[in-house]
Structures are given as C-alpha cells and as structure tokens.
Chains A and B, each alone.
Chain A
Amino acid sequence: MEVKYQKTKGLTDKKLSYCPGCTHGIVHKLVGETLEELGMIGDAIGVASVGCSVFSYEFFNCDMQQAPHGRACAEATGIKRVRPDNIVFTYQGDGDLASIGIAETIHAANRGENITVIFINNAIYGMTGGQMAPTTLIGQRTTTSQDGRNQVLTGSPIKISEIFSQIDGVAYLERVSVTNPKQLIKAKKAIKKAFTYQKEKRGFTLIEVLSTCPVNWGMTPVDALKWVESNMVPVFPLGVFKDAGEKNV
C-alpha cells in the first residue's frame, strides 16, 4: 500500500481552532500543501490577520507574524522589503481585508508589492458572532441585518477581485471556491501560481477563496457548501481576473 493522501508538512500538529466543517481548514491545507510542494516551507513568512484566522500563526509550519487588524499587507510589505528573497504571504478574512484593511491592501497592490494575499470571503464576520460584513449578500440575514442586508442603507457586497483587477501592480488575481474536490484542485493550482509568480518577482498576487461559515449562517457544513454554489457564486463569479503572464486578459 502506498500513501496517497496525508496531512501536509506545511501545517503543524496543533488542532485547528475553527468550528466543525469550516473551510478555513481546507484553505490552510491548500496553502500548506503548496508550500510543501514548492519546497518553500523553510523560506516562507506568513502574516496572520485578525478574525477567525487570528491563530493561523500556530497552524502554518513556517515563520509567522501577527498583524494588527487589517494591516497584514502593510506588515508584509515591510517584511518583503527587508527580506526580498523570502516568500511572504498574508492570510486574511473579509472583515480584515475588505473592511478595516482595504486601504492598506489596495495601496500594497498599487505599489506592486511582491507578496501573495490569500483572501477568505465568507460574507460574514465569523469570530465576533456573525455581523454583517462588506461582502454580505443583499438580503442575507446576519445579527446586524436581521431583516436581510438592505441595499439602500448599506450598499452592495464589495467585489474585491473586480476592484483589484484594475490595478497595474497586480500580477495575478483569481477567485476560487472550495465547494467540491474539483474546485479544490483549481484553488490549489491558483495558489501555486500565485506563489510561483511571487518567486519570479512579478508583483502583487491575490487569491480570493469563497468560504463558508456554517455556524453563523445557521447551516450544516454540507448545506453551507451548497449555499456558496447557489448564492455566492452568482454574485462573486469564479475565474481569473488578471494574469500578467498571459496577454489579452
């Protein structure tokens, strides 16, 4: 018998702090596997954000740094400029990146900082108890939008990939999901491409992953994945938004 699949060396043995069925764990795995396959575990420096992923510095088996809320890209900029040969990535949720940290992130992208951002979009604030996030869908019920998100009062869900695709400093930008094994393989390819582009010093790379929050959405983990496919994907279409390596994109 030959081992076909086992836990990646890119993650530590610590038990993940996430709720049962949360796709944070799946994305952690994909990042860990990518670091392992590209032989980058020893060279990588991750920047953890604030939110559910606040403890990700305990889970990734590489050097990690914890940033203040929303400032992961600013911190990653500093790390990358001091250590340009290391692989620097941030791991941020939508409350961190799309809300409080959008200024730091958009300017890091505009400067073309040679870092990789893993952006987890689950349309809600998970850690603080399910409040409305900038990415919450119209009509979605949260603890701070109990009749559903009202477009007149609070605007529409912010589309990070679409916004960032207009920025010159961005080298690679793709939105993926992890709702089934096929999408998972696509997501891993995207993450791998982003890290490879960083190694080739091409500029800012961002992978947006449509993720779930079964507890705050009030669903089972399986239903939450179906909800992503039926409700989130129509609003946040999947695909490559920018690829500096290919022409006419």
Chain B
Amino acid sequence: MPKGKVYFEEDMCKGCSLCVSFCPQHILYQDKTTINKSGYNIIRVSEPEKCIGCAFCAMMCPDSVIKVEVDK
C-alpha cells in the first residue's frame, strides 16, 4: 500500500520540473506527449505505489499545484 498520494491541478502547472528533481523516490516524470491548457508539459507519477508522502514535491512547487495526502 502506498503511504502517500499526490494530486496535480494540471491546468495550473507550468512544467518547471522542480517537483521531479526533488522527489526522493524518483517516481515523477514530465510527460512530453501531453500539454495542458497553457501549453506546458504536465507531470505524472510513474509508480504511485512507491510514494512515501514526504510532500517534498508540493513544498518545492512554486505554483502550489500539488496536494499530498498520507495514510494515517
């Protein structure tokens, strides 16, 4: 069972990839095939079951597009 779950508000994302570089589990990637309303490549989770819910991605996101939930 994953400890955490991340949600992206995709249309607000600017594709800066700071979340990708700070994920300690390396489970985020930029999907170069999909763009959002503003024309940026969005971020996806490759292996959701590996998320530890540390919220580093959300902390580093300048546009506050990431919400993190953790299993208590």
Contact = CB atoms under 8 A, between A and B. Distances in A.
Interface in B19-40: 21-22, 40
Most buried by A among B12, B16, B71: B16
A25 to B, nearest CB: 3
Nearest to A11: B64
B47 interface: no
B16 A20 contact: yes
18 contacts: A1-B69, A1-B70, A3-B69, A4-B55, A4-B68, A5-B58, A5-B68, A6-B58, A7-B65, A11-B64, A19-B14, A21-B62, A25-B62, A25-B64, A28-B62, A181-B22, A222-B17, A222-B18
Contact of A181 (B15, B56, B72): B56
B48 interface: no
B20 to A, nearest CB: 8
B60 interface: yes
A180 to B, nearest CB: 7
A67 interface: no
Most buried by A among B12, B21, B72: B21
A15 interface: yes
B4 A4 contact: yes
A219 to B, nearest CB: 12
In order of increasing CB-CB distance, the 10 nearest A-B pairs are A25-B62, A21-B16, A20-B14, A7-B64, A20-B16, A1-B69, A5-B55, A5-B58, A5-B68, A6-B67
B56 A24 contact: no
A29 B64 CA distance: 7
Interface of B: 4-5, 12, 14-18, 21-22, 40, 53, 55-56, 58-72
B62 A222 contact: no
Contacts of B66: 5
Contact of A18 (B56, B62, B71): B62
Most buried by B among A220, A222, A225: A222
B19 to A, nearest CB: 10
B22 A24 contact: no
Interface in A6-60: 6-8, 11, 15-16, 18-26, 28-29
B62 A24 contact: yes
Contact of A5 (B22, B63, B67, B72): B67
B55 to A, nearest CB: 4
Nearest to B67: A6
B67 A15 contact: no
A66 to B, nearest CB: 22
A22 B15 CA distance: 11
A2 interface: yes
Given A2-B70, A180-B22, A15 B63 contact: yes
B11 to A, nearest CB: 9
Given A23-B62, A184-B59, A184-B60, A3 B67 contact: yes
Nearest to A1: B69
Contact of B53 (A4, A25, A28, A181): A4
